[in-house]
Amino acid sequence: MKHIIIGAGTIGAATGIWLKANNEEVMFNDINSEALNKLEQKGFKVSMFKKDIALYMPDIIWVCTAEWDTEKVLKDIYELNSHKIIVIRSTMPVGETEKLTKKYGLRHVAHVPEFLRQKTAIEDIFNKDRIIIGTEDRLVQLKLEEIFKSVTVPVFITDIKTSELIKYASNCWLASQISFWNEIKKLCDKLCINPQAVANGATLDKRISKYGSAMTGEPWGGFCYPKDIKSLIKSFEEKDIDPIFLKAVKKVNDENRDGKKKN
């Protein structure tokens, strides 16, 4: 099948490289000439022009832009009358994909969130934990199942809203683990206990993940965790639910971060 990847950043590049490694035909579309040049040097077809999205005649269009650019991309696809299968990889607020696809009359849409780390995106995409496919379109589901038939990890089929929330729940849980161990470290420091010994002993329990248990005391930051915590808190509040736990996770991190700045 022919695929066009809109957005040649970390997620888009990793997606295209994985597709090509699985014998799919790939072209990248982006306004970032530097990113395109790097991919062109690796043998990929590239384009900076919007019109080429339709001219390439892809079977599937992958939207791998930042979430705030997704609507513009979907509007462009609509205006180009390129009613192909559209797979959104961006982290989308819950309900946003449904709202935008209705707004632009897009028919065959899926949300397939990524779970890649920026520094190890290529390694991660070839060593996935799971594939989440959010779609209510049977044609889209079958096409994506065909693409992912070679993977040996669980493929979880669900609706789009659920896939959107899975992405947020995953990132916010990981952030919460870091906040938890940072809280434990504060108490250890006061009691003159080795915090790493506590973490190492606790995580011998197979039910307890080691993620975040390196007792450095560093707050979580980066690109994804801060924005995703804020967005998920907003989703709760829009439904008149007080996200007590998420607010606490954010508060622990904010205080830790502010303390580091003062020092």
Is there a contact between 114 and 170 (Cβ–Cβ < 8 Å)?
no
3-state SS track over the chain: CEEEEECCCHHHHHHHHHHHHCCCEEEEECCCHHHHHHHHHCCCEEECCCCHHHHCCCCEEEECCCHHHHHHHHHHHHHCCCCCEEEECCCCCCCHHHHHHHHCCCCCEEECCCCCCHHHHHHHHCCCCCEEEECCCHHHHHHHHHHHHHCCCCEEEECHHHHHHHHHHHHHHHHHHHHHHHHHHHHHHHHCCCHHHHHHHHCCCCCCCCCCCCCCCCCCCCCHHHHHHHHHHHHHHHCCCCCHHHHHHHHHHHHHHHHHHHC
Show the tokens assigned to 130. 């799971």
Closest C-alpha to 163, from 216, 98, 254: 98
Q: Are 166 and 113 in contact (CB under 8 A)?
A: yes
Radius of gyration of the chain (CA): 21
Identified catalytic residue from 64, 172, 188, 224: 224
Active site residue 224: yes
Give catalytic residues, as residue numbers: 224
